[in-house]
A and B are shown apart, each in its own frame.
Chain A
Amino acid sequence: MSDPTIRTITVNALTRVEGEGSLRVRVVGERVEIAEFSIYEPPRFFEKLVQGRAIRELPDIVARICGICPVAYQMSACGALEQALGIVTTPGIEALRRVLYCGEWIQSHALHIHLLHAPDFLGHESGLSLAKVAPELVERGLRLKALGNRIMEVVGGRAVHPINVTVGGFYKAPDSAALRGLLPELEWGLAAAEEVVRETSRFEFPDFTREYECVCLKAEGEYPMNHGRVVSTGGLDIDVADYERHFQERQVSWSTALQSVMLPEEKPYLCGPMARLNLCFEQLPPRARAAAESSGLELPITNSFRSIVARGIEIVAACEEAIRLVQAAAAAPLAPCRVAFEPRDGVGCHATEAPRGILYHRYEIGADGLVKGAVIVPPTSQNQGQVEADLRDMLPGILDRGDEEVRHRCEHLIRNYDPCISCATHFLRLEIERA
C-alpha cells in the first residue's frame, strides 16, 4: 500500500497551452516537496542556427520560433539588428510596426481568453464544447482573432509568419485603402473587447493572491510594446542594454527550457499582461482605462487567475491604438517604407513586449553582413520560475481537495500564464565548454 502521507499529482501532457509541457507535484504531509512545470519539447537551437545567416534573413527566421507571436520575434530582432547597424527608422515605420504588433496582441489574447482560458472558468474541456452552450462567446473570440489576423495580413502580408517585415522597415508600404478597410471591424473589435472585459471580470476567481515582482517595459506616453526601459515593481529602472546584468537564465533538470531569474537575489519574477497593467496603467489609452476602471479590477493585480481580465483590457488598448494609428497611416502613405543599411561589425540588443511578456534579443553581426551570435530570452522562460513559485504557494491551501480537483486547479494556474512552450524551448543554448 502506498504511504498515505505522500501524494503525487502528475499531468503528463498539459492541454490548452501552446506546446508540450507537463506538471509534477509531490507533497509529503503538508509540505510541497516538488512542484515542477516541466517543458519537454525538443529544443530547436535557434540561437545556434542563425549564426552565419544574412542579417536580412533574420526577421523571417526568428518568426519561426513561434506561430502565435511571430511579430514579437520580428520586432525584437529588427530593433536589435538596427541598433547593431547604427540605423534609425522613421516615425511612420514605427507607427506601422505598432499597428502590426496590435494585430498580434489582439489575435493572441483573443485566442487565449476564449478558446484556452475561459473553459476553465466555465467548466468546459475546450472552446469547442463551450461553443455548444455559449456560441456567441466563442464566435466573438474567433471574430476578434480574425480581426487581429487581418491587421497582420494588411501590414505584414501574412498572419502567421508575416513576410513584409524587414530590417529597417517594410518591404512594401501597406495599401492605404486596405488600411482604411480595417477601421469598421476595429470599431466593432473595440466594443467587443469592452464586452470581454465586462464578462470576464464577472467570472469567479479562486482566492489566491500573492505579491509579485513585476517586470515590463515602460515608455513615455504610450502603453509598452516596441520600446521602453525595463522597470520592475521593486524599483528597477534600466536601459535594455543592461538587461543581461540584471537577469540570468539557468538550466533546470526537469525542463528543456531555461528559466530566468532576477539578480542579485536570483528570484523569480512576473512578466506579461498583469505586469504591464500593474506598472503601466497610466499609459493605457482612455477607453482601455475606462474599461479597467468600470470592471472593478483593483490594482495592483495580485491574483494571477485575473490575468484573463488583464488580457481583455489589453485587447481594448490594442484596438484603440490600432484605430488611432491606422487613421493616421491611411492619410499619409509610408514613404520611404524602409531605411537602407550597410553591414558593419556591431552588437545590438532590443526588447519588446510580446503578448506573454518581455522578449529580449541581442545580436552580434559582422561587416560581411552575417550574424555571428545571438541571445534570445523569451517571456515564457522568464515566467516559468514564477509559475512554479505560484504552484508551491497555492498547493498547501487546496490539499484538502481530491486529486482531480487539485490537478485541474494546477493546470488552470499554469494557463493563467498563457505559456508559450515552443518559444521557451527553442532557446536552449549550446554552451560550448570543451571537456
Chain B
Amino acid sequence: MTLMPQQPPPRTKPSLAVFKFASCDGCQLQLLDAQGKLLEIADRVQIDHFLEASSKVVPGPYDVGLVEGSISTAHDAERIREIRRQCRMLVTIGACATSGGIQALRNWGRIDDFLGAVYASPQYITTLATSTAIADHVPVDFELRGCPIDTHQLVELITALVLGRKPRVPGYAVCVECKARGTVCVAVAKGIPCLGPVTQAGCGAICPAHDRECFGCYGPAEAVNLVSLTGFYERRGTPREDLTRLVRSFNGYAPEFRAESDRLQEKGDIPGFHHE
C-alpha cells in the first residue's frame, strides 16, 4: 500500500480583473489567445471583471488587476486610483500602460496645437494634454512590456501569480534573442539603424529576422546606453531626425527613450561625449 501524500487544503482561486484605458485592445486580446490556454487559465483563476470577454461583472476587491492603456483624461486619472484601491496587486500590460503608448506622441505637441485647438464642438470632449503611464499615477507592482505583450510572457505572468512566485521575464536586450535564433545582425551587416541593442527582449527578435530594424516595442532594456548607439548610427550617416523618430515611437515616453529623443532633437551633446 502506498502512502498517499496529504492533500493541501483547497485554495480559493485568485480573482482577476482586466481594465482598459486608452489603447488598441491588442494586449487584452492576447489573453483571449493565450496560446490556446485561455480555458485552462479560466479554470485556475476567477475572472471577475473582463468586460471584453464576459457580461459577468463581480465588484472588487480583486487579487490581481491587469491594466491595459494609458491615462489621457482627468476621468481616467481618477478611475485608475479607484482601481488601485480595488486591486491587491496591479500589473500593467503593454506599452500604453507602461510608457504612455504611441498616443504619447502628443506629449511633444505644441501645447496650443492641442489645447488651443477648437474642436467642432469642444464642450463634449475632455482630454488631458498628455498620455502617460499608469505608474505615473499609482504604484504598479509589475509591468509586462510589449506592443503588444507576448502571449508566452502573459501565460508565465498568470502562472506565477497563481503559484505566488515572481514572473520570470528577461531584462536583457533583443540582441540576445537575435543571437539565439541565429539572425545576422541587421545593424552591422546591412547598415540598418536598429534599436535591438537597447530594447528589452520578449518578442523573439522578429523584426531583424524579417530584414528590418527593431523599433522598440518592448521599451528600454536594463542599463542601456542610447547616446552611444545613436551616435554610432549618426556617424555612419543616419540623419538625426530619423533617429529621433526611431527612438520616439511606441515607447517614446519611457524615461530613457524620452531623454534620448529630446537630446537628439535639441542637438545638444551630452557632456563628455565627443560628437564627430
Binding site for B on A (CB under 8 A): 13-20, 41-46, 48-49, 53-54, 57, 60-61, 64-68, 70, 111, 115-116, 119, 125-129, 131, 135, 138-139, 142-143, 145-146, 149, 157-161, 163-164, 166, 171-172, 250-251, 253-254, 256, 411, 422, 428, 430-435
Contacts and interface: CB of A to CB of B under 8 A. Distances in A.
Interface string B187-222: 000000000000000010011011110010100000
Contacts of B242: 54
Contact of A160 (B72, B148, B211): B148
Contacts of A422: 23-25
Contact of A49 (B27, B103, B147): B103
Nearest to A52: B245
A45 B52 CA distance: 23
A378 to B, nearest CB: 12
Given A171-B212, A253-B124, A431 B55 contact: no
A49 B54 contact: no
Given A64-B101, A67-B29, A16 B24 contact: no
A49 B119 contact: no
Contact of B52 (A16, A164, A411, A428): A16
B102 A160 contact: no
3 closest cross-chain pairs (CB), A and B: A67-B26, A126-B54, A44-B103
B56 A129 contact: yes
Contact of B32 (A111, A139, A161): A111
Interface stretch (B36-44, B174-182, B254-262, B268-276): B36-44
Given A160-B26, A422-B25, 15 more contacts: A16-B54, A64-B147, A65-B24, A67-B28, A67-B148, A68-B26, A128-B39, A146-B33, A157-B207, A158-B206, A161-B147, A163-B212, A411-B55, A430-B117, A432-B117
Interface string B81-121: 00000000000000000000111011001000110111111
B57 interface: yes
Nearest to A61: B102
28 contacts: A16-B53, A42-B127, A46-B103, A49-B103, A54-B245, A61-B102, A65-B24, A66-B24, A67-B23, A67-B26, A70-B26, A125-B55, A126-B55, A126-B56, A127-B54, A128-B53, A131-B39, A143-B36, A146-B36, A158-B203, A159-B33, A161-B148, A163-B212, A172-B209, A422-B23, A430-B114, A430-B119, A431-B120
Given A111-B32, A157-B206, A163-B210, A13 B51 contact: yes
Given A146-B33, A172-B210, A161 B26 contact: yes
B contact face: mostly helix, strand, loop, or mixed: loop
Given A142-B38, A163-B206, A251-B124, A45 B53 contact: no
B138 to A, nearest CB: 17
B29 A160 contact: yes
Interface residues of B, number: 61
Residue in B22, B114, B116, B203 whose Cβ sees the most chain A Cβ within 10 Å: B22
Contacts, number: 175
Interface of B: 20-30, 32-33, 36, 38-39, 42, 47, 51-57, 72-73, 76, 101-103, 105-106, 109, 113-114, 116-121, 124-125, 127, 131, 147-148, 203, 206-207, 209-212, 215, 217, 242, 245, 249-250
Contacts of A128: 38-39, 42, 47, 53-54
Contacts of A43: 125, 127
Contacts of A139: 39
Contacts of A49: 102-103, 105-106
B23 A145 contact: no
Contact of A171 (B30, B73, B210): B210
A43 B120 CA distance: 14
Nearest to B27: A67
A67 B125 CA distance: 24
B22 A45 contact: no
B24 A428 contact: no
Contact of B210 (A44, A125, A164, A428): A164
B24 A60 contact: no
A53 B103 contact: no
Given A67-B24, A146-B33, A146-B36, A45 B103 contact: yes
B207 A163 contact: yes
